Structure 1
Amino acid sequence: MKLLYLLPMLFLTACSSQAPKAILSEATATETFIDEPVTSTGRYFAYVPSPSILIFSETRDWRHEEGIAGANLAIMKAAKEMGHGYFTTEHSGIFNEKDLARFDVIVFNNMTGDALTPEQELAFAKWQSKGKGTVLLHGAGDDSHQDWSFYHNELLGATFVSHPMAPQFQPARVEILQPTHPVMAGMPKDFMAIDEWYTFDAPPSDDFIVLAGLDESTYSPVNTVYGDRSDLRMGPKPVDHPIIWSRCIGDMQARVVFNAMGHRYESYETEETLLLLKNMLNWAAKKTDPQSQGCAK
């Protein structure tokens, strides 16, 4: 009887002692992804068609949980409409030549911090140089990416300063500055949105095309809670405070578009944000604007 009584306890103990090993094994596999990709076994990619959209949201700094979830679902729906597959991950090991070849668009969905190794950064740069498309959402434009100079300077092009905290989320008027650009197709000339409004030290350089800006008179661009700068105004006109911009890079015209909106999942329930997201994905994938007119200044 005592032996029968002890058997369930021994079984539970054995399971408990094995659990950490299983977790460690999985973590180790993702850490060594570059040398021997888990995807090469077909474990993850058996069902992913090509072309597809890679939705990457690893966070090594602030995590925008709601924005990541809202954008993931919205991108999945948009991908289906485009006839594309999609794959979501927070494991940077996917940034290797073999696996990236499956994708024609990569979305950095609120990625923060030093998420990629130098080898992975080079793999991404090589992938993008083939004329691929990149979409950056909200936290992917904060100040935690400056260690990766290519990303910070060539893809993003501006340095985040702060955002309001009094209150953090506010309604503000967004004005479309390039209504003929494919990313702005079907958009109204302006619209109201509630978000965490980013301020940058300066607009991006002339290599970028500013597509939309903020009307600072419609919200309170102030942060008295943290940081050295409380006055977050960039200028009296929407063009002075860019919030969405794009760029085409290299001979292959690789397309990049950044939208600083998207902190909350509610953002992806609005008509304007959903249309913007679809337009960004289609333009980045070169399903629209075949003559690359949106690349011209």
Structure 2
Amino acid sequence: MVQEPRARETPTTGDWTMRRRDVLAAGSAALLGLATFPCGWVAAASKRRQRVLYFTRSVEYEHSVVRPGEDGLSHSGRILTQLGRRAGFDVECTKDGSVFDGDLQRWDVFVFYSCGDMFQTSVRKRPPMSPAGRDRLVAAVAAGKPFVALHSACYWGRQAPADDPYLAMIGARFVAHGAQQEATMRVASPGFPGTEGLPKSFRLTDEWYALRDFADNLHVILVQETAGMEGDMYQRPPFPATWARMHGQGRVFFCSMGHREDVWTNRIFQQILLGGIAWALGNAQANTTPNIHQVTPRANQLHP
């Protein structure tokens, strides 16, 4: 049975945009323990700072890490902006789906932490993404624009068709999730940016997404080890949890982690996220030969 995030309505508020100066003014107490990263990930000093659009529009459920606080800043947006300050990119955060009807060349990479059908009314009543805007986004990525998707960005509502172009771009779709619990991530691609220095596997507490309909060209970076996990949706063979793939000419990176506030302050998660963004932007290179059938041969076998 598909389990989608439950709706949580909150008072309507204005859209918000967060840039470097906002973070510096707000302070960085929540950002202690920021990940380190190889200097090769940083955009060349001779170039302009790269621009990231962090899109966090929520339709059915707004995760706490993307919920604006009293100062208008979210936990994840603040951390991503601080990471970008050190890595050479600026972050603009929005919940306004109409931006995809405008000039998409304003940004160098899209980072999505969306949730639900972006055509529908959002929790905060911000403008929806239009079908044309969705098509423009997918076309931009196919033409070479980088795309990074986190956690619930793989969920476009339970009515999303099997051939949904947005989910096809990501390379899989959400099935369900169980209770938050500690689980094991196995590193399947130790040479990928962000995996430097990691052990062969690590354990982390988060809300773990069960996924399905994996694309054949996934280069799997982290594998969800399901043995010992609690919940029917996890009674299945191991499956991809973080991957890189090409969508046309565009680099696509997906990571299923990031539900909890303490995951966003975790050095391993920050390192993996930065590595994925660096690869997507072309600041770091990696062998992304598809390996899904080698490292997770029964990935699409679901719980009966």
Query: What is the CA–CA distance in structure 2 between the aligned matches of 1:111 and 1:123, rounded to whole Å?
Result: 19
- Given candidates 213, 222, 240, the residue that maps to 1:242 is 240
RMSD over equivalenced CA pairs, Å:
2.9
Residues 177 and 210 in structure 2, CA contact (< 8 A), matched pair in contact too: yes
Aligned structure 1 segments of 4 or more residues deviating by more than 4 angstroms:
none
Superposition pairs of residues 97-108 of structure 1, within 5 angstroms: 97-98=102-103, 100-108=104-112
1:232 aligns with 2:197: no
Larger Rg: 1
Query: What is the CA–CA distance in structure 2 between the aligned matches of 1:286 and 1:67, rounded to whole Å?
Result: 26
Query: What is the CA–CA distance in structure 1 between the aligned matches of 2:101 and 2:198, rounded to whole Å?
Result: 36
Structure 2, unmatched stretches of 5+, are 1-11, 22-47, 68-73, 120-128, 292-304
Counterpart code for 2:107: F
Q: Return the offset for 1:97.
A: 4.4
Q: Return the offset for 1:122.
A: 2.2
Query: What is the CA–CA distance in structure 2 between the aligned matches of 1:245 and 1:91, rounded to whole Å?
Result: 27
Residues 143 and 161 in structure 1, CA contact (< 8 A), matched pair in contact too: no
2:64: which partner in 1? 65
Residues 226 and 234 in structure 2, CA contact (< 8 A), matched pair in contact too: no
Q: Return the offset for 1:192.
A: 0.9
- Given candidates 254, 270, 273, the residue that maps to 1:274 is 270
Q: Which moved more, 1:80-89 or 1:176-185?
A: 176-185
Q: What secondary structure sits across from 2:157 in the alignment? A: helix
1:183-224 C-alpha deviation (Å, 9 max, x unpaired)? 43343321110011111235x12211121112222431x1xx
Query: What is the CA–CA distance in structure 2 between the aligned matches of 1:278 and 1:137, rounded to whole Å?
Result: 12
Structure with the higher helix share, 1 or 2:
1
Query: What is the CA–CA distance in structure 2 between the aligned matches of 1:249 and 1:201, rounded to whole Å?
Result: 18
Q: What secondary structure sits across from 2:111 in the alignment? A: strand
2:175: which partner in 1? 161
1:293 aligns with 2:287: yes
Query: What is the CA–CA distance in structure 1 between the aligned matches of 2:280 and 2:147, rounded to whole Å?
Result: 6
Q: Return the offset for 1:82.
A: 2.2
Residues 245 and 253 in structure 2, CA contact (< 8 A), matched pair in contact too: yes
Q: Return the offset for 1:53.
A: 0.2
1:201 aligns with 2:212: yes
2:142: which partner in 1? 129
Query: What is the CA–CA distance in structure 1 between the aligned matches of 2:212 and 2:202, rounded to whole Å?
Result: 24
1:174: which partner in 2? 185
Q: What secondary structure sits across from 2:259 in the alignment? A: coil
Residues 210 and 233 in structure 2, CA contact (< 8 A), matched pair in contact too: no
1:213 aligns with 2:223: yes
2:155: which partner in 1? 142
1:253-276 C-alpha deviation (Å, 9 max, x unpaired)? x11111111111111111111111
Structure 1, unmatched stretches of 5+, are 1-23, 31-42, 223-229
Q: Return the offset for 1:67.
A: 5.2
Q: Return the offset for 1:295.
A: 5.3
Residues 105 and 133 in structure 1, CA contact (< 8 A), matched pair in contact too: yes
Counterpart code for 2:234: L
Query: What is the CA–CA distance in structure 2 between the aligned matches of 1:158 and 1:234, rounded to whole Å?
Result: 16
1:20: which partner in 2? none
How many residue pairs get aligned? The number is: 236
- Given candidates 176, 179, 185, the residue that maps to 2:196 is 185
Cα distance change of structure 1 residues 185 and 132 upon mapping to structure 2, 3 Å threshold: farther
Give TM-score scaled by structure 2 length: 0.69
Query: What is the CA–CA distance in structure 1 between the aligned matches of 2:278 and 2:289, rounded to whole Å?
Result: 14
Query: What is the CA–CA distance in structure 2 between the aligned matches of 1:274 and 1:124, rounded to whole Å?
Result: 26
Query: What is the CA–CA distance in structure 1 between the aligned matches of 2:147 and 2:265, rounded to whole Å?
Result: 22
Counterpart code for 2:58: T
1:73-130 C-alpha deviation (Å, 9 max, x unpaired)? 22112211221111000001111342x2111111111433224211111221232233
Q: What secondary structure sits across from 2:92 in the alignment? A: strand
Q: What secondary structure sits across from 2:227 in the alignment? A: helix
Q: Which moved more, 1:71-80 or 1:170-179?
A: 71-80
Cα distance change of structure 1 residues 56 and 231 upon mapping to structure 2, 3 Å threshold: closer
Residues 176 and 233 in structure 2, CA contact (< 8 A), matched pair in contact too: no
Counterpart code for 2:235: R
Query: What is the CA–CA distance in structure 1 between the aligned matches of 2:197 and 2:140, rounded to whole Å?
Result: 30
